[in-house]
Copies of this chain bind each other. A is one copy, B any other.
Amino acid sequence: MPNRARVTIRDVAERVGVHPSTVSRVLNPATRGRITSEIVEKVTAAAAELGYRPNQAARGLRTNRTRSIGVLIPDITNPLFPPIIRGIEDALGANGYSAILGNTDNIPSREREAVATMRSRQIDGLILATARRDDPIVAECIADGLPLVLVNRTADADGVSSIVNDDALGIALAVRHLKSLGHTRIAHIAGPRSLSTGEARRRSFLEVMEAEGLDADPALIAETTAFSEDEGLLAAAQLIAGGLRFTAIVAANDLIALGAYEALADADLKCPDDVSVTGFNDMPFVDRLSPPLTTVRIPHYELGREAGRRLVDLIENPNTPARATMLRPDLIVRGSTVKV
């Protein structure tokens, strides 16, 4: 009956009649070999019997390793993040690490505060899904030598590990798909330029249009200040109001595409008959929209899992050089894109 009174390593030691340090060595796989197998068995049995559970706070105090990791995300209710978090957790859990989560709503002061409390909790490393291209937290971690991995978004700073998807390829897939359907006048609703995803997708859009011999009219690129439905609606409405002809919209992500759906409906334009739309992310349920959204699927779960693995690697092999990894996205063709 492991009751309220905590059972410590000393209790186990007394029960067996050995010194606490011996118990410690038995319980640590790395040092177990140094102890007589008879004692190992007795100690293991006693530990199980008493319901001994190592006190991580004490261990962490001594070893400076807590096996807990801070994970900062903008907002868990954004459907983009749960699979990423799940991937992170699974990878961390498999290696004996736990995640401490923090939502920051993209507010810098909350990010700072969250990092402060996490560091106070002696986290062994940090995973950021909140990085801006120019991010003081990234700089701080690098300066302090705190193991850090960026996921989904990356930063401009070098020497930082990141797991992101190949934004350029994703946009290329979307643009080429539209071209193959006969579209030539293609608009882009870009994400915030302060985020790597916004900037990379925008740049890729221009490059691919050029490379495909379609001219990318700068007036057909609309700007947003956030990857949100509202912003997508606004930007699409502006595009429509601009009066320039276009037959397709490449939205910088699915939420923006949703906003575009609304703007089109508001302007009595039909999707896909009048305007084809592509998204980015393949959020849950976009296959159920009407029309089902053609979008770029990014491997969210794998993104998170790789981030978790990379961080563990970084922690356990401190001189691993930083590496930026890109995962391959896929184009998922659905009903929101048709021949022109």
Contact = CB atoms under 8 A, between A and B. Distances in A.
Interface of A: 1-4, 53-58, 60-61, 66, 68, 75-77, 79, 81-83, 85-86, 89-90, 93, 96, 98-103, 116-122, 143-145, 284-285, 288-290
Nearest to A116: B53
Contacts of A83: 77
Given A83-B77, A86-B76, A100 B102 contact: no
A89 B98 CA distance: 16
Contacts of A119: 53
Nearest to A78: B82
A289 B60 CA distance: 50
* Candidate in A86, A96, A101, A122 with the most chain B CB atoms within 10 angstroms: A101
A321 B144 CA distance: 46
Label chain A's interface by main secondary structure.
Answer: mixed
A86 B79 contact: no
A57 B53 contact: no
Nearest to A54: B120
Contacts of A3: 143-144
Nearest to A67: B121
Given A57-B61, A117-B98, A285-B284, A4 B122 contact: no
A54, A68, A116: most-surrounded residue (chain B CB, <10 A): A68
16 contacts: A3-B144, A4-B144, A53-B120, A55-B61, A56-B57, A56-B120, A57-B61, A68-B100, A75-B86, A86-B103, A89-B101, A90-B103, A93-B102, A99-B100, A101-B101, A285-B285
Given A2-B144, A285-B288, A290-B290, 8 more contacts: A3-B144, A54-B120, A56-B120, A57-B122, A58-B61, A79-B82, A81-B82, A98-B121
A108 B118 CA distance: 30
A336 to B, nearest CB: 13
Contacts of A144: 2-4
Nearest to A71: B101
B89 A102 contact: yes
Contacts of A1: 143
A66 B143 CA distance: 27
A111 B56 CA distance: 19
A254 B296 CA distance: 26
Given A54-B120, A68-B121, A121-B68, A79 B284 contact: yes
Contacts of A4: 144-145
Contacts of A79: 79, 82, 284
Nearest to A70: B98
A63 to B, nearest CB: 10
A245 B68 CA distance: 56
A86 B96 CA distance: 24
A85 to B, nearest CB: 6
A53 B75 CA distance: 26
A123 to B, nearest CB: 10
Contacts of A66: 57
B116 A103 contact: no
* Pairs of residues from A and B, 4 with the lowest C-beta to C-beta distance, nearest first: A285-B285, A57-B60, A77-B82, A56-B121
